[in-house]
Amino acid sequence: MPFYWVGPWADPYFTLPVRTEWYLFLSLHLIILAFVLYRWRGDFLRLGGKGIFLLLGLVLAAALLSNACKFHPTSEDAVLVPARPDLPLLAGLPTLLAASLLGAGPATLVAFIGGMVRGLFESHLVLRPFEIAIFGLLVGFLIRQDYAGRLFSMLRQPIVASLLAALLAWTIFFWSFYVYAAGPFLSVFISSFAAALGYLPFILLEGLIAGLVVQALLSLFPRLRPVVGAQRTPPYGYSLNRHLLFFVAPLILAFILALFYVVNVRAMQVATAQTITQMARDAQNMAEERIPIFLLYGQATLQGLARSEDLQSESYEVRQDRLEKDGRSSAFFRQLFLLDNNLALLNIYPESPPEGLTLSSEEVASVVKMTGGEAASQRTPAYRLPTGDLVISFIERLEDEATGESRGILVGRAAMGEGNPTMRGILAGLQPATGGGLGFVVDERGYIIAHPDQRLLLSSWMAEGSRLSSSDSLPGEAYQHTDENGETRLIYHMPVLGQPWSVVIMVPYEVVMDLAVEISVPLLILLALMSLAVTALILLVISHLTRPLQTLAEASGQIAQGDLTAQVNVRGEDEVGRLGAAFEQMRVKLKESFEAIERERGRLKAILDSTTDAILVTDSQSHLILANPAAEHAFGIKAAEAVTRPLAQAIANEPLEQLFNRPAEDREALVEEIPLPDERILYASVATIADGDGQAIGRVAVMRDITALKELDAMKDEFVATVSHDLRSPLTFMHGYVTMIPAAGDLNEKQQEFVDRIIRGIHQMSELIDDLLDIGRIEAGVGIEMAPCKMSSLVGMVVAELSGRAEAKNLKLQLELPPTLPLIVGDGALIKRAVFNLVDNAIKYTPEGSVTVRVRERDSYLVVSVSDTGIGIAPADQIRLFEKFYRIKRRDTIRIKGTGLGLAIVKSIAERHNGKVWVESKLGEGSTFHLVLPKEQPERS
């Protein structure tokens, strides 16, 4: 294959294709080109000054490199097409660079220009520029695509992209060959296919070189890489169906193409072999029988003539008579000459032949050979007579029977070709039955001596072309030869048996092609039908396989959106079927539990909605997460708006906020009265909500409206204050007189007892009235003296005073004091009174066990806690415990005397000191009363 550094630049032209289909291909190419320019117009718009320069440079490079540095295949290179495309080694490089640096649009343009040069100066094929442009388009697309995944990242590599694009583009190069060849569709199709196949390695090599160079460039300068961090979902990534199709379709296609190719190649082989066999049969018949017989016949006939006595006679007439009789009867020789030993002409038949009466130079040469002592029978090569007829001459010696001496020479001229009926039959037998072929005979000199075309007679012929291996088992040899006009022929050449001649039969390649088409068409139709069936089947199987998965995906999407009603309908025992069944089970279970939760929620909501207690719930970040209608009503809020907001923003109520924010110990509930703007008062109890691990996850407040109770309390206060005041003087008065009764005279025992009872009653009453008045005084703040006092000594005094009573009940009275305690500002007497009441109650309501008094310091407060192991207080009673006159009516406490004012006094004292008192208690287990007092009191005006 010759190599050019620079190709010829002269004579640019296109030859127009012979097939009209090329208009179709041209329009298709134009549409593709227009689409590319439109689709990737952004590539051009983005170029900028530098980019335009680069593009122009690459276009120029493409034009130059397309006609430089190239191999040029010759006819021996087995490329069967009329125009043999060259192999410019570097032509793909500018295209690949344009694809990497500028985009698919510029790559297509650069490739198109390169193709233009190749079309005009090299192959002159009109479709060439478009086909090369498609290579540019493909390589540009592959290098610039930004699909995610390893496959696409590999396809982005210039070397892979270039090879793949070359391979894909090759499939359309084929049409370029196709449109230039005349003939029946299928035979042209097959020959174009074979031609394209021969061209494939060239294209791949071109792609490989360009790919290698650009690959190296990009690894040296990674900054030039066109796509970094591809993210786009690949086209097959959206459904399993597409995924399978994406990988199966090319496989099917490749498989069909391979089958197609194999069928065609095999058909060609079979057709060639069949044609050669037929040619061989024709040739063999002639070469082994008819031609040898023809020659032997000529020789034998002349020999028979020569043996005749009459020819040796002295009489001219006798000899002439004999010659004419035999010549006429044999009809093989058109002329006979009888010579004597001195080569003088004795007789001649017919008497005056148009060719004249002289021997030809060939005959003379043979006669001389014979007289020189060579074999008794001679034959001249074929030669032309002056009349133009082709003849061969047989020569025999006349021998004396007795002595064997030579008596003369007999020469017989036999016509070749038309003039000879035997030769005519042979020539007819050599002509192949299939149209377009021809057969002829070649003699020992390589001259054609029998040919249907008279003009070619005596022209020389030589076997040429490539020998076909299929001819091994045949007596002759088969060749395939393509002449300068691009016509290919099969040639069969066979030597004639026992003679130096040979027969040649030629058949045009179209005959083979037609036969191949005849063989392959039914197979191809079958193949096409089967491929269709297989494709349809695969599509069906794929969709059958993926349909249940699709159903599952849809169902899971619905479930994810919260719709649990749609049934998952995937049947079967295979993996997908089991998955579907499990899915359906899961859905049903989920639906059931959701419904159960929903029911539970509904019930809870109904309870919360219908309860008259206001309920608020916050999460661990103090955001409101629930407010029932009672709470909405109490605080004048809308739950829908307030929920999820921080409590402080959702409800403008400072005491409530403080209550929620107050630290709580363990599980202790915090209680507080919450005044509302509309003067109502709620009794709130706040508890911490803990999860399974004991972790606090929020707080809940239950609030009861106690306004009515409060009002009642106030009315009671007023009433009692009035009454107690009014009762006090008559009571003092009564006490005076009763104590004076014994002084008025002796009393008997009964009388004394009555008087004592009256005095006890009066005492009790004055105690009650004292208590009442105390409360009134405390609430009114009369005579209260705030001064620093020592809590430990106040509590100590109470414990000391009450220890006797505790001992009497067999109770353990304990006092727990921290080592140091700060002073507290307050009215010492009142604080002592409050502690006294608490400890007194604890002893009173504790049948057995112990009473513990604890004092602690907590921030700016002192906390006095009185715990007992007594009878405890029910939650319902705890709310009202600190009301005046509230006494719990129980059978076991009926005998315990009390006014029901003790805790009310404690509460009044606590409030007076800006402190608080509350109880934690469990029925039957004991109670703890907490009295919290601030260490400092605000300055009073």
Site for ligand ADP in 817-876 (CB under 6 A): 841-842, 845, 868, 870-871, 873
Closer residue to ligand ADP, CB minimum distance, 616 or 843? 843
Whole-angstrom Cα distance, residue 165 to residue 95?
A: 12
- Tell me the number of residues near ligand ADP by CB under 6 A: 20
Spatial CA neighbour of 545 closest among 240, 238, 249: 240
Helix axes 128-144, 92-101, angle to 10 degrees: 40
CA dist., res. 338 & res. 350, Å (int) = 12
- For ligand ADP, the binding residues in 892-911 under the rule CB under 6 A are 893, 898-904
- In angstroms, the CA 358 to CA 343 distance is 11
Coil, helix or strand for 394?
strand
Q: Shortest Cβ distance from residue 834 to ligand ADP (Å)?
A: 11
Residue closer to ligand ADP, measured from CB, 161 or 853: 853
Cα–Cα dist 432/428, whole Å? 9
Closest separation between CB of residue 906 and ligand ADP, Å? 8
Shortest Å distance, C-beta 812 to ligand ADP = 15
Shortest spacing between CB 771 and ligand ADP, in angstroms: 8
Query: Shortest Cβ distance from residue 883 to ligand ADP (Å)?
Result: 9
Complex with ligand ADP: residue 97 or 904, whichever CB lies closer: 904
Give CA separation, 58 vs 55, 62, 120, in Å. 5, 6, 19
Q: Which is nearer to ligand ADP, 389 or 840 (CB)?
A: 840
173 neighbors 138 (Cβ within 8 angstroms): no
| C-beta closer to ligand ADP: residue 766 or 899 | 899
Shorter beta-carbon distance to ligand ADP: residue 86 or 868: 868
Closer CB to ligand ADP, residue 367 or residue 873?
873
Q: Tell me the C-alpha distance between 893 and 898, whole Å.
A: 10
The residue (of 713 and 868) whose beta carbon lies closer to ligand ADP is 868
Q: Which of 705/868 has CB closer to ligand ADP?
A: 868
Element (H, E) at 926: strand 926-934
Q: 3-state DSSP call for residue 325?
A: helix
The footprint of ligand ADP on residues 913-932 (CB under 6 A) is 927
The residue (of 651 and 842) whose beta carbon lies closer to ligand ADP is: 842
DSSP code for 122: I
Q: Is 603 exposed, middle or buried, given 0-12, 13-18 or 19+ CB atoms closer than 10 A?
A: exposed
Q: In this chain, which stretch among 83-91, 152-160, 674-682, 886-894 interacts with ligand ADP, using CB under 6 A?
A: 886-894
Stretch that binds ligand ADP, among 91-99, 330-338, 405-413, 885-893 (CB under 6 A): 885-893
Measured from the CB atom, is 264 or 766 closer to ligand ADP?
766
Q: Which of 644, 577, 637 is nearest to 617 (CA)?
A: 644
Residue whose Cβ sits closest to ligand ADP:
898
User: Pairing between strand 787-789 and 824-826?
Assistant: antiparallel
Whose Cβ is closer to ligand ADP: residue 628's or residue 846's?
A: 846
Is 336 within 8 Å of 410 (Cβ atoms)? yes
Closest CA to 70 of 211, 204, 202, 217: 202
**Among 506, 507, 511, 505, CA closest to 287:** 505
Q: Which is nearer to ligand ADP, 99 or 904 (CB)?
A: 904
* Residue 88 contacts residue 158 (beta carbons within 8 Å): no
For residues 706 and 682, is the Cβ–Cβ distance under 8 A? yes
Between CA 517 and CA 510 the distance in angstroms is: 10
Q: Find the shortest distance in angstroms from Cβ 898 to ligand ADP.
A: 2
Taking the complex as a whole, how short is the minimal distance between the CB of residue 817 and ligand ADP, in angstroms?
21
CA distance 134 to 173: 10
Q: Cβ of residue 742: shortest distance to ligand ADP, in angstroms? A: 31
Interface with ligand ADP, residue 878, by CB under 6 A: no
The residue whose two tokens read 């009265």 is 673
Rounded to a whole number of angstroms, the minimum distance from the CB of residue 908 to ligand ADP is 11
Give the helix ranges, DSSP H, for 40-146: 41-45, 48-65, 92-101, 104-118, 128-144
As beta bridge partners, residue 686 has: 670, 701
91 versus 901: smaller Cβ distance to ligand ADP: 901
Closest contact distance (angstroms) between CB of 884 and ligand ADP is 8
Q: Which two tokens stand for residue 147?
A: 């699909």
**Residues with Cβ within 8 Å of residue 544, at least 6 apart in sequence:** none
Nearest distance in Å: CB 909, ligand ADP? 13
Closer CB to ligand ADP, residue 392 or residue 671? 671
Q: Which CB sits closer to ligand ADP, 610 or 764?
A: 764
Give 109 or 851: the residue with its C-beta nearer to ligand ADP. Answer: 851
Query: Which is closer to ligand ADP, CB of 280 or CB of 813?
Result: 813
Backbone angles phi, psi at 780, to 5 degrees: -80, -15
Residue 720 Cβ vs ligand ADP, minimum distance, rounded to whole Å = 14
Q: How far is the CB of 717 from ligand ADP (least distance, A)?
A: 15
Piece of 557-565, 589-597, 693-701, 884-892 that binds ligand ADP (CB under 6 A): 884-892
> Which residues make beta-bridge pairs with 861?
858, 934
Prior bond of 350 cis (ω within 30°): yes
Contacts of 393 (CB under 8 A, 6+ apart): 360, 362, 363, 366, 379, 380, 411, 412, 413, 414
Residues of span 236-255 touching ligand ADP by CB under 6 A = none
**Binder among 127, 881, 910, 917 for ligand ADP (CB under 6 A):** 881
- Helix, strand, or coil here: 449? strand
413/384 Cα distance (integer angstroms) = 11
The nearest distance, CB 643 to ligand ADP, in angstroms, is: 39
Of the candidates 792, 793, 775, the residue with the CA atom closest to the CA atom of residue 784: 775
CB of residue 700 to ligand ADP, shortest distance in Å? 26
Binding characters for ligand ADP, 726-745, by CB under 6 A (x = yes): --------------------
Tell the smallest beta-carbon distance from residue 905 to ligand ADP (Å). Answer: 8
Window contacting ligand ADP (CB under 6 A); options: 65-73, 202-210, 753-761, 882-890 = 882-890
Provide, rounded to whole angstroms, the least separation between the CB of residue 856 and ligand ADP. 19
469 DSSP assignment: G
Q: Which residues, in sequence order, are bridge partners of residue 410?
A: 338, 396
**What are the angstrom distances between the C-alpha of 677 and each of 250, 651, 655, 674, 682?**
80, 12, 12, 10, 11
CB of 844 to ligand ADP, least distance (A): 6
Interface residue with ligand ADP among 888, 911, 914, 936 (CB under 6 A) is 888
Question: What does the binding site for ligand ADP look like in residue numbers (CB under 6 A)?
Answer: 841-842, 845, 868, 870-871, 873, 881, 886-888, 893, 898-904, 927
